Structures are given as C-alpha cells and as structure tokens.
Amino acid sequence: MLDKRLDKINNLIFDIAAGNFRPQANIEGEMDELDAVITGINMLAEELERNTISRSYLKKIYDGMSDMVFILNNNGLIVDINAKVKTISGYSLDALKFNSFNTLFPFKNKVNFAELKSYINTYHKKDNITTDFITAQRSIIPVVCSFSMIRGNKPKDNIIMMIVKDMSELNHIRKELEERSKELNTFIYRASHDLQGPLATMQGLFNLIDIDADDPEKLKNYFALFKQSSSKLHKVVTELLDLGRITASGINYENIMVVDIVNEIREENTSNFSKVNFNIINSQDYAINTEPQILKSILYNLFDNSIKYTSPEIQTEIKVEILDSNKGIKINVSDNGVGIGKEIKGKIFDMFYRGNSSSKGSGLGLYIVKTGVEKLGGKVWLKSIPDRGSTFSIFLPHHNS
Ligand code: ADP
C-alpha cells in the first residue's frame, strides 16, 4: 500500500518534470504526511501550469512556422525539429536526432560550430548564412540559415535554434524578375529603335520636300515614301499598343463567335486581306467566353504572317478551322506559304525575333500571339513543312465568367 502511494508520487513528479502538469494524483484521505506531500505537489503543478508556457504550446508555435526549425544542444547536435523539416527535406526526427547539424550541409559548406557558438554567445544570433542543404532524397536546395541562442539556467543547458529558409522558390522568382527586367530593357531599346527608323526617314523626306518643292515628279515619289514610313510607324505603334493591352492586368470576358472575329478582321483590313483566299471551316457556330480584343490581335498576326511569308508568285490561301471540345476551342490557321525551318522553330515566338532576312516586320507578331494566348490561359503550337506551308494551332479554354 505504502509502495503504491510512493509510486504514485514518483509518477506525478515525473509527469511534472516532463512538462505535463495536468494529471494530478488523488489523495487517499488518510490525512497523513503522504497525502500532505501529494496535495503540495498538486498545488505546485497548478501553479506551474498557470505560469509556464507548456511544451506543446511552444511546439505548436514552431510547427506553425513556414521555415525549417532545428533545435541544437550545446554541442551542435540536433535534438528536435519542427513539422516543416519533414515537409521540405523529408527527414524525420529519428533520422536526425543527435546528429551534428553540419551533416545537413555539403562538406564544403560546413559551419565551424565552436566559432559560431562563441559568436552567438556574444551577439545572441547570427543571421543570413547562405548555404546549400542536403535533403533526405539527397537533392540539394539553396537555403539561408540563422542561429540564435536560447539560454538555460546553466550554460550547459543553453540551446541553439537554427532556422533554415528554403530559397528555391525565391531564387526562382528572382531569376524570373531578372529575366523580365532584361526583356524589358531589350523591349525599350528595340521599340525605340523601331519607332526611330520611320521617324528619321520622315524627317529626311521633309528636308527633301523643302529642297525639291518645285519638282512635282520628285514630290510624288517623296510622298509615296512618306506614306510607307507612316504606315510602318502606325504598325509598330499598333503592335506596341496590342502588347500593352495584353500584358496589362485584367481580362474582360465576353461571349463571342470565333467566326465573327475572323470576319471582323477581314473587313477591317480589306487592303491586306482582300486578295487572300480564306477558307473557314466552322461546322457549327462555335462560341467562346474570352477577351475579343486579345483574340483579334492573335488571329490578325497569324493571318498577317500567312500573307507576308508566301512566295509572291503564289496565291495566298488561309484555312481557318474552328473546333470545339468541352474544355475549350481549338483554332488552326494554315497557310500555303514558305514554311518554317526546324532551325528557327524554337525562336519564332521570341520578342523581336525575325527569322527571315527579308522580313519587314518588327519581330513582335508571334510574341503578341504567344503572350495573348497565355493571357487567355491557352497554348499555341506549330506544324510546318518548308516550302509547303505552316499551321499554327491555338487552344483557348472555356471560362465560366
Ligand atoms: P515578323 O513577322 O515581324 O518578322 P513575327 O514574330 O510575326 O515577326 O514572326 C517571327 C518570324 O517567324 C518571322 O520573321 C518569320 O521568319 C517566321 N514566320 C512567322 N509566321 C510565319 C508563317 N506563317 N510562315 C513562314 N514563316 C513565318
């Protein structure tokens, strides 16, 4: 009986030492010294519970962190980890417990623990150590680590909290931003260059018009050149505006018939398209919820290219095939033009890329097509046989709103 009561006290003390203040022992009603001890311990547990942040509460805090957290003992050995470690790196606590934190880093990136400890002893923390991290699957991810000292009652009870931030996603975003900024620089440079060309020609023509004001033959020639330059300028500005509209955020969805858009383009550009044989295959009146202006720019540029890249002696034929599926609409634009060689297929959708030395365009047409299709959530691809023709296919998903 006495043994049992002593065991109970023993278990109670163990529970409290483990930070588990809740389970309390009942007194036996003997009103002896042991009951007095149990009552005292229960009161102590209640007091501790009121004043102490429980381990599970702390664990919840660091499990909720979006970065990996490792708790290191005074010798740099891992004693605990948070839930993110498992999610990001695949390690369990069992696999890491009492291993040096340095086993997580490649050999060349090991951290001198003695130096680190002495540093954080003085300055409390060390931030921004950029390094690589080896996951349980042996892949390497870029990380940034910070170490901070949490002091115990005695120096040997000090622990170190190591927070490891996975930089893969951030590095990816940074790279994307760098690429975008490079693209923007090229864009500004090339756009101003393309605007400057026809403008310079027009200024030159003004001078000539002044000089040859009395020569009607020459003047006629200058005005023809002037018209050419101004339409080139108009084309560049239209393309830049189209691109601006596509990249600007927000889409105004409208339910439209694809065939209506095709016909509108033909009507608005009779000077270009009147001599073209259009063959529209639209077995039903397919409608789609999309941004009509963007779809118009996409199709206009595909038609314009079909005309630009046909041999002069050949009658341009454009076949537009509109197909429907429950997921979206597919539009095939085929021509009987010069075709596109394998060597340039991968580049034609790049900004300002001109694949043809005789191209008079700005190299923005297919970039507008690709950017527009992606903006509408679709994709574009190409099949082409040199000297026979090309088929550009676009898929646009249905949108419910
Ligand atoms: P641009 O027509 O102003 O040169 P694009 O971006 O519209 O620029 O097209 C890029 C390149 O792709 C063109 O220079 C041309 O070489 C090639 N290309 C585009 N469409 C066709 C087509 N339908 N047939 C043959 N080549 C094409």
Question: Which atom of ligand 1 is nearest the CA belonging to 361?
Answer: 3
The residue-averaged pLDDT of 190-194 equals 87
Say yes or no to pLDDT of 101 above 80: yes
Say yes or no to pLDDT of 302 above 70: yes
Mean pLDDT value across the chain = 89
- Return the ∠ at Cα 16 (arms to 13 and 17), rounded to 5°: 85
Amino acid 9: pLDDT: 79
The residue-averaged pLDDT of 340-349 equals 94
Say yes or no to pLDDT of 401 above 60: no
**H-assigned helices in 18-134:** 33-51, 55-63, 83-89, 93-96, 113-123
| 246/23: higher pLDDT | 246
In this structure, are residues 291 and 254 in contact, taking their beta carbons and an 8 Å threshold? yes
Amino acid at residue number 124 = H
| 163/20: higher pLDDT | 163
Say yes or no to pLDDT of 54 above 70: no
Cα(240) to centroid(ligand 1), Å: 17
Question: Which atom of ligand 1 is nearest the CA belonging to 389?
Answer: 24
Which of 194, 298, 334, 340 best tests ligand 1's pocket when mutated (most atoms within 8 Å of CB)?
Answer: 340
Say yes or no to pLDDT of 108 above 90: no
pTM: 0.64
**H-assigned helices in 149-215:** 168-211
| 284/238: higher pLDDT | 238
At residue 89, what are phi and psi to the nearest 5 degrees? -105, -15
For residues 84-117, one letter each, b for 16 or more C-beta atoms within 10 angstroms of the residue's C-beta and e for the rest, the string is bbeebbebeeeebeeebbeebbeeebebebeebb
Pairing of strands 317-324, 287-290: unpaired
339 confidence band (pLDDT: 50, 70, 90) = very high
Helix, strand, coil % over all residues of the chain, rounded to 5: 50, 20, 30
| 4/159: higher pLDDT | 159
Collapsed DSSP state (helix, strand, coil) of residue 250: coil
Q: Tokens in use for 109?
A: 């990136």
Pick from 14, 9, 51: which is nearest to 34 by CA?
Answer: 9
| 55/111: higher pLDDT | 111
What Rg value do the Cα atoms of the chain yield, rounded? 37
Amino acid 356: pLDDT: 78
Least confident of 81-90, 190-199, 214-223, 369-378: 190-199
Cα(357) to centroid(ligand 1), Å: 11
Q: Tokens in use for 23?
A: 């389970």
Collapsed DSSP state (helix, strand, coil) of residue 164: strand
Pick from 55, 58, 47: which is nearest to 24 by CA?
Answer: 47
- State how far Cα 121 lies from the chain centre: 40
Amino acid 134: pLDDT: 95
Residues with CB under 6 A from ligand 1: 301, 305-306, 308-309, 335, 337-340, 348, 353-356, 359, 361-367, 390
Indicate the helix (H) or strand (E) that contains 165.
Answer: strand 159-166
Cα(42) to centroid(ligand 1), Å: 84
Cα(363) to centroid(ligand 1), Å: 7
- Using CA atoms, how far apart are residues 354 and 113, in angstroms rounded to an integer? 57
Amino acid 205: pLDDT: 94
Cα(348) to centroid(ligand 1), Å: 6
Q: Which residue has the tokens 């893969």?
A: 168
Say yes or no to pLDDT of 50 above 80: no
Q: Over pLDDT 70: what percentage of the chain?
A: 95
In this structure, are residues 169 and 66 in contact, taking their beta carbons and an 8 Å threshold? no
Question: Which atom of ligand 1 is nearest the CA belonging to 362?
Answer: 3
Question: Which atom of ligand 1 is nearest the CA belonging to 350?
Answer: 6
Cα(369) to centroid(ligand 1), Å: 11
Say yes or no to pLDDT of 19 above 80: no
| 16/341: higher pLDDT | 341
**Model confidence over 248-273: pLDDT tens digits?**
878 888 999 999 999 999 999 888 88
Amino acid 274: pLDDT: 86
